[in-house]
């Protein structure tokens, strides 16, 4: 099993991951690298080599022994909007055709290797999104004030800053910061901060912290709050797997 964390995206390779019925605030893209996993959609189980599922759509998932790449994209991000426009086209989910799945599997599969680092994994993940007709060209340089906010978030994962803290760093009003952040980063700042807190907790779990310690250090009220967020984000609890054995923090 391998996993990679980015600021608003999360990629996992697994042959045994099982997620009970849930709906979350991220789009989910899954592609069978070796065979077709099982997915429950509209209350019925089926084999699906590749599927893109929109936010707030109830589904369940079972890799069923098939190595699968599963990625999550923040539901209010610019990328998510493009995936809705070009792939989902007003549908709650879209099954991907076999030639596209072959292409995605060939591109993503090597990232499962034990020696794969963050840059290669990110390039393969972004290339895969590009094959779905998404514009993955680099974002323009950030405004200095937004760059300062992002630098602060990277340097200070714990305790997590609030929006009010970031307004002081950016020297902007809260409304102006929210507008500028959404315009430049492509995600509402409060949604970005939720992902930031969640991924901070995962990175602490990867370092061997307990769920309780990781939850509090990342700004959650308690371990139950973190667990609810984890299920909403990607459908499995933070105690599901030993994160320190497979997770790479690429933020």
**Domain residue ranges of the chain, discontinuous segments joined by +:** 2-131, 144-249
Q: For the domain 2-131, what is the CATH code?
A: 2.60.120.280
pLDDT of 136:
72
Give the residue-averaged pLDDT of 66-94.
91
Second CATH level (architecture) for the domain 144-249: Orthogonal Bundle (1.10)
Own/partner long-range contacts of 129-137 (Cβ < 8 Å, ≥24 apart)? 129/29, 129/73, 129/79, 129/83, 131/100, 131/103, 131/104, 131/107, 132/29, 132/52, 132/83, 132/86, 132/87, 132/100, 133/82, 133/86, 133/87, 134/79, 134/82, 134/83, 134/86, 135/82, 136/79
Instruction: Return mean pLDDT, the chain.
Output: 89
Residue 244: pLDDT band by 50, 70, 90 thresholds?
low
The answer to whether domain 2-131 and domain 144-249 are alike in fold is no
Name which of 49-53, 63-67, 89-93, 132-136 the model is least confident about. 132-136
């Amino acid at each position: 099993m391998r996993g990679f964390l980015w600021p608003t995206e999360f990629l996992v390779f697994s042959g045994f991951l099982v997620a009970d019925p849930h709906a979350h605030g991220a789009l989910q893209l899954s592609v069978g690298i070796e065979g077709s996993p099982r997915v429950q959609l509209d209350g019925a189980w089926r084999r699906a080599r590749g599927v893109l599922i929109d936010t707030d759509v109830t589904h369940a998932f079972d890799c069923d022994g098939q190595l699968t790449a599963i990625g999550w994209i923040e539901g209010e991000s610019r990328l998510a909007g493009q995936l809705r426009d070009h792939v989902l086209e007003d549908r709650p989910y879209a099954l991907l055709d076999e030639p596209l799945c072959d292409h995605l599997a060939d591109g993503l599969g090597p990232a499962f290797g034990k020696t794969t680092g963050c840059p290669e994994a990110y390039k393969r993940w972004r290339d895969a999104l590009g094959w779905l007709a998404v514009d993955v060209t680099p974002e323009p340089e950030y405004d200095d004030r937004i760059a300062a906010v992002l630098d602060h978030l990277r340097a200070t994962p714990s305790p997590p800053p609030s929006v009010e803290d970031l307004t002081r760093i950016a020297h902007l009003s809260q409304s102006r910061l929210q507008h500028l952040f959404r315009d430049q980063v492509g995600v509402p700042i409060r949604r970005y901060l939720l992902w930031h807190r969640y991924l901070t907790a995962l990175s602490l779990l990867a370092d061997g912290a307990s769920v309780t310690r990781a939850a509090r250090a990342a700004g959650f009220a308690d371990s139950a709050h973190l667990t609810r967020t984890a299920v909403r984000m990607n459908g499995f609890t933070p105690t599901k797997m030993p994160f320190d054995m497979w997770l790479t923090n690429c933020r």
